[in-house]
Structure 1
Amino acid sequence: MSRNIILNSVLMVIALSISITALSLYNLRSAGIKSAIHNAVSISEAVKSGLTSHMVNGNMNQVGTFIQSISNMKNVNKLWISRSDHVNEQFGHIRDLPKDDIDKKVLNSGVMYYELDESVTHTSVRVTIPYNAIAEKGIDCLQCHNVKQGTTLGAVSLVLDISTIKEIGIESIYIVSVFILLTIIFFLIYNKKYIMPYFRLYELFKINISNATQGIFDKIDAPKELSNDIIHITNDYNNLLEVFKDTTSDIDKKLQVYTGFKTSNLQRNPLTESKEIIDNLSNLFEYKKQIEFDSTLDEIYCRLKQVMINRFDLENFTFVEIDVAKHKMRKVIEYGDSFYCEKTMTSSPELCRCARTKHDVVSIDFHNSCQYYTNTEKFYYCINIDISKSHYLIIHITCDTKEKLEKLKEKVTFIKSYLTETAPVIEVKLLMAALKESAFKDGLTGLYNRKFLEEHSKKLLPQIKRENGNIGILMLDMDHFKAVNDEYGHDIGDTVLKELAHILEDTVRESDIVVRYGGEEFIVLLVNIKSEEDALNVAQKIAQRVRENEIDVYAGNKLKKTVSIGLSMYPQDSTKLDTVIKNADIALYEAKNSGRDKVIRFKEEQVSSVDLF
């Protein structure tokens, strides 16, 4: 840049000098021409006065000598006169005829004319001036010439040498050239000593600032030729850069500690990395605020899914909850094609390597890090997040190529940041769900309680109505349960109730609802059972399972029990669930009154007998 400025400055000085010289030469030339014409006019006036005097005095024979004397004047190369036809006719003899067309032109027009003759070393001006007849005080041409006033009587032609002007111009060119050369030399010397140090400092600042944007903070060594003020400013800049470097490095380290972020690029740029980290932290903070206001786990998982897609460009991933204590696995989110270990995870979730080791499981070369991942053409990355002591969230990510897997590894730190922020919220939601579920669960058997039945029926009945379905209501009661407590104690009684709860859950479908209604009474809601016959078959199956079940009491003794079951159908028996439950209770009492260990279908005529009972 400094070279360009210097070159442009030199060219500007040369151009300016040439322009001034050209303008001076032009003005000098114009002034020389005007001066030559003025001199020619003066000489012509002297010639005309001399001719008039010779004519008045009758000395026309001496005109030639007079003209010759005028011709000998300095810078006058030639001088001649031309007579018009009027004068030649008047005096009867022809002389001093026009020499060329210019003489003729001036004699005919009566207007002065000049012409410039230029060469490299010589310049002359040809001027032809008319001699017009006038009648003024002191000079009256009309007295001697029989012509009208203004008639051209003759013309005086002169060739004047003005080469001196060109010589002056050439000298001016020499002087200007020397001036330009001296100016350039002075400028270069001045530039080297006083200006170039500033340009070098500018280049240093330019390079330094460019490096700083890339995370390279170098000090500037100011040239010694600079003024003390500039050196002081440069030192202040170096101090500022050093403070900025330390601050940036400190921020970068602290942010890395907070996020665990480490770049894979050897040429690190703390500014860019810090900006990226802060941007991620800002997004992470907004994400955390949003999930805290989400009301359900599904909303949280859907939001986390959107982050994985939109923020990290993941194409194939699955969210899986694993409860090791309960040996359960729940697939909560699946996006794309990824869950190639689902078969093993569903049957034996405790085998999950990621959950078992609590470390990331990643595809590696030459051997399979996880033996349960069945696809050999794709690559995987599994991340474990602890939700609680035995509850884990596994993020299973599948990549189509190894290059995508490598890019994923660079994103894992920030992905884990989102997962880490999500884990406590998920834990709270699970605890709240567990707390809510405990309010609806029987503490002894783990079955739903009467409160759950009351709340759930508000959603269940509208659904059954929309689907035009049925509900079979089974009311069960353990036969002679009081005798068990009296003979064996309440501990054995509790065991009997647990055994019955287990048989009920194992016999009915997952969509059916089993409720401990109170004491030894249980209710089973056979949701969307096809017919009354199917409901009776389920009841008979339950009664058979209870009848065949042996309960260990103590000292190798076995206990067998039976149940009585009453059946009522919704909406065949009533469109009100309370009435259907009451009807099933009536049928239950009918089963007990008729000998126990029976299944009785509710009938209208049973109502009166129960009332009497």
Structure 2
Amino acid sequence: MISNKKVLATVTGMLLVLAAATMVNVGLNFRGYAFKSAEEKAQMTASIVRDGLTAHMVNGIMDKRLDFLENVASAKSVKNLWVVRADIVSNQYGMGFTNETPRDDIDRQVLASGKEIQKVQESSEHATIRVTIPYIATAYGHPNCLNCHAAKEGDVLGAISMEFDIGDVRTKGTMALVKIFGINLLFIVIALFIVNRYTRPFMRLFEQIQASTDRAKTGDFSLKINGHTIPKEARGVAQNYNDLIERMDDTFGEVKNSLSSFVSRMDSDNKDPLAEANIIIHELADVYRFKKTIELDKEKKDIYGRIIKLMHDKFKIEHFALYEVNHVQKKRQLVHISNGEPFCSPMSVNNANECRAFRTKQDVYSEEFPNLCAECTRDDIGYICIPYQINDQYSLVLSISTKDEKEYQRLASLDAPIHNYLDVAKPVIETKLLMEILKDSSVKDGLTGLYNRRFLDEFIDKISAQSARQAQTYAVMMVDIDYFKMVNDTFGHDAGDIVIKRLSEVLRSTIRDADLAIRFGGEEFLLMLHNPSEEGAMQVAEKIRQSFAAITFDLAGEKINKTASIGVSLFPSDADSLWKVIKFADTALYKAKNSGRNQVVRFTAKDYTNDEF
């Protein structure tokens, strides 16, 4: 309705401007016509008077000229008329009648300049035009003025002034303008009626389209155009528009559902479905690029590095910590902390169940309840902890904190997009974890959990290179169970496995985390102690021997004790190659076996005489 009124107002304004322009043009034309008509009458009257006065002069009846002038002045529309003499005529023929002298400045200006002057005088009641025309002496006209007047060519002999009443013309012009205004007004009314009749249905169409598109911006495509309220000519357009809106409704619904299936947690307060789809598509593109990038990363730590960089660069999180949680061991390993110290207590590191986010498998928001997580050691921060389960064995926990309330609200809004990235990272991280497990199982002994001979083959060169660069030392021990074959033959292989496992437990409990324990084969074990002294290495070997000998085994109802023999060699004091040192430790072990078993033997050069290795 508003659009229709605007159209009518615009058309009315245009027609009124056109009518006003027409009336102004007509008024100016009437005024011009009145002036031109008066000028033509003045010229004709001036010619008549000139010729009449000449005739009076030739016939010698100049004293009768007043009657002649009065007769001319009595003509219709001539309000007043008088003739004035120039000085040149007065000097030749005398001053003439008293009314033949200049009456005003106009008469004097015309006599002086010899140029015609017109002056209009108007009021609300009257309208006149004054025309004063000079008489110029010339020998080339008829009659020859120089025959009677003592004058030169171009001299001003006198002038005639006339006043014409143009009020009648003005009245007629006014009436004409009134008629034109009435006709224009009638035309405007008719035009508005026609315009309203034919445009109003189309305006209804436009208004319905506008209302429909306004609602479509908010995602509501239900408003269609009512074809019964618009002209037949536009019903095809309405039908096409309704079909388009319906298809858009279906399409946007499918697109949004499809996108939501990829980015399920995408939050958006945008009421414009196009803008919302654009946001989701851009987010999906970023997530997809992230996924393609981490799929090509070599190790799990590289993926964690990508996640950390994402938190810093994309989400602008200043303080956060990333933990990897081992479900089996119930331990949390700190992967990264941006700055400062973790706000979680050390207890939650050693016992993952103390972590509320991990235990409940739900996001933890500190604003939900005072002192919500008892393991938080800070009361001056707001924190958000996001758990994310990778598989049955591992989870991630992202702990975010801030002191600023406004920043806390922003961080809380990042929960959904962070989950989007973790969603695509999950299968890749899980794959890397499985690869680690597979790799770990390939280099570890299934019975004891210690590294196996394959691990030694793969990593001995790396250890050697690192030792050379950093001037590190190693003590290598070869440990062998004495008379182990007798256990298998007497009590069976299951009993032998028990003995082997107990020895592996002794080895693991005796050495440090920096040391390596390897099941070299069968009942034989290899130990590599990192940076020991010779005395310290011998003490460790002796402690292993004694601890193992103190164990009593209950095998098939029979209690027995077993012993172990140990050979010790040092790198690089005994040899410049770890493989040589391993061989020397084995040589020392052989000596311990041949010397009565259940003892520790330190390798010496005299024990090994073979030059080939």
Whether TM exceeds 0.5 here: the answer is: yes
Match of 2:442 in 1: 439
Question: Aligned letter for 1:81?
Answer: V
SS of match in other structure, 2:130: strand
Match of 1:497 in 2: 500
Give the C-alpha shift of residue 289 in structure 1: 2.3
d(CA) in 1 for partners of 2:96, 2:418: 121
Q: Which residue of 2 aligns with 1:514?
A: 517
Structure 2's unaligned 5+ residue stretches are none
Matched, 1:160 2:164: yes
What RMSD over aligned residues (CA atoms) do the two structures have, in Å?
Answer: 3.2
Pick from 181, 185, 188 the counterpart of residue 185 of structure 2.
181
CA distance in 1, matches of 2:558, 2:125: 146
- Structure 1 residues 99 and 326, CA gap change in structure 2 (3 angstroms): closer
CA contact (8 A) 2:538 2:568 kept: no
Equivalent residues in 2 for 1:339-378 (5 A)?
A: 340-341=343-344, 343-349=346-352, 365=368, 372=375, 378=382
Cα distance, 1:473 vs structure 2 = 1.7
2:460 corresponds to which of 457, 460, 468: 457
Q: What SS does structure 1 have at the residue aligned with 2:605?
A: coil
The 1:107–1:414 alpha-carbon spacing in structure 2 relative to 1, beyond 3 Å, is closer
Q: What is the number of residues matched between the two proteins? A: 605
Alignment of 1:573 onto 2:574: yes
The answer to whether residue 198 in structure 2 is matched with residue 194 in structure 1 is yes
CA contact (8 A) 1:360 1:384 kept: no
Does structure 2 retain, via aligned residues, the 8 Å contact 1:324–1:350? Answer: no
CA distance in 2: counterparts of 1:148 and 1:272, whole angstroms: 95
Cα deviation, residue 67, structure 1: 0.6
Quick one: which of 106, 110, 117 aligns to 2:114? 110
Residue identity opposite 1:104 in structure 2: R
Structure 1 residue 152 displacement after superposition = 2.0
**Deviation digits for residues 326-355 of structure 1, max 9, x if unmatched?**
555433344467955553343333666655
Counterpart residue number, 1:471: 474
Match of 1:147 among 136, 151, 157: 151
Structure 1 gaps, min length 5: none
CA distance in 1 between counterparts of 2:89 and 2:419 reads 122
1:583 aligns with 2:584: yes
2:307 is aligned to: 304
* Aligned equivalent of 2:425, options 418, 422, 437: 422
Change (3 A) 1:174 1:260: same
The verdict on how the C-alpha distance between 1:424 and 1:222 changes in structure 2, with shifts beyond 3 A counting, is closer
- 1:600 aligned to 2:604? no
Kindly report which structure 2 residues correspond to 1:6-405, keeping only aligned pairs within 5 A, or say none: 6-92=8-94, 94-95=96-97, 96-136=100-140, 138-222=142-226, 224=228, 226-253=230-257, 255-256=259-260, 259-261=263-265, 271-310=274-313, 317-335=320-338, 340-341=343-344, 343-349=346-352, 365=368, 372=375, 378-387=382-391, 389=392, 391-398=393-400, 400=402
The CA distance in 1 between the partners of 2:578 and 2:426, in whole Å, is 40
Local SS of the residue matching 1:454: helix
Give, in angstroms, the shift of residue 48 of structure 1: 0.8
Equivalent position SS for 1:301: helix
**Equivalent-residue separation in structure 1 for 2:587 and 2:279 (angstroms):** 71
Deviation at 1:98, TM superposition (A): 2.0
CA pair 35-471 structure 1, distance change in 2 beyond 3 A? same
Separation in 2 of the partners of 1:76 and 1:240? 79
What letter is aligned with 1:166?
Answer: R
Partner of 1:546: 548
CA distance in 2, matches of 1:275, 1:37: 79
Provide the C-alpha distance between the structure 2 equivalents of 1:354 and 1:101, rounded to a whole number of angstroms: 111
| Deviation by residue 1:4-55 (Cα, 9 ceiling, x = unmatched) | 4433332332223222322332233233222212211111111111111111
Structure 1 303/93 Cα, relative in aligned 2: closer, same or farther at 3 Å?
closer
What amino acid maps onto 2:194 in structure 1? Y
Which range is displaced more, 457-466 or 337-346? 337-346
Q: Please report the TM-score for the alignment, with normalisation by the length of structure 2.
A: 0.88
1:606 is matched by which residue type in structure 2? D
Distance 1:327 1:87 in 2: 139
- Cα offset for 1:509? 0.8
SS of 1:120's equivalent in the other structure is coil
The alpha carbon displacement at 1:68 in A equals 0.6
8 A contact 1:193–1:225 mirrored in 2: no
| Structure 1 residues 128 and 465, CA gap change in structure 2 (3 angstroms) | same
Q: What letter corresponds to residue 73 of structure 2 in structure 1?
A: S
Please tell me the residue identity of whatever aligns with 2:506. I
- Deviation, structure 1 residue 297: 0.6
Distance in 1 (CA, whole Å) between partners of 2:500 and 2:556 is 16
What amino acid maps onto 1:431 in structure 2? Answer: L
Provide Cα deviations, 1:109-142, integer angstroms capped at 9, x if missing partner: 3222222222233222222222222223751222
CA distance in 2, matches of 1:137, 1:294: 117
Secondary structure (helix, strand or coil) at the match of 2:221 reads coil
Q: d(CA) in 1 for partners of 2:272 and 2:119?
A: 79
User: Could you report, residue by residue, the CA deviation over 1:142-175 in whole angstroms, capped at 9, with x for unpaired residues?
Assistant: 2222222322222111112222232233223312
Indicate how the Cα distance of structure 1 residues 337 and 240 shifts in structure 2: closer, same or farther if over 3 A, else same: farther
Distance 1:223 1:555, change over 3 A: closer
Distance change (3 Å), C-alpha of 1:361 and 1:392 = farther
Deviation at 1:260, TM superposition (A): 4.2
Kept in 2: contact 1:338–1:398 (CA 8 A):
no
Q: d(CA) in 1 for partners of 2:370 and 2:157?
A: 126
List per-residue Cα deviations over 1:183-204 (Å, max 9, x = no partner).
3322432333222332233222
Distance 2:30 2:81 in 1: 25
Q: Distance in 1 between matches of 2:415 and 2:109?
A: 103
C-alpha change, 1:187 and 1:336, in structure 2 (3 Å) is: farther
Report if aligned partners of 1:566, 1:589 keep a CA contact under 8 Å in 2: no
> How far off its partner does 1:461 sit?
2.4
Please state if 1:523 is matched with 2:526. Answer: yes
Percentage identity across paired residues of the two chains:
34
- SS class of match (1:605): helix
User: Is the alpha carbon distance of 1:143 and 1:275 closer, same or farther for their aligned partners in structure 2, counting shifts above 3 Å?
Assistant: closer
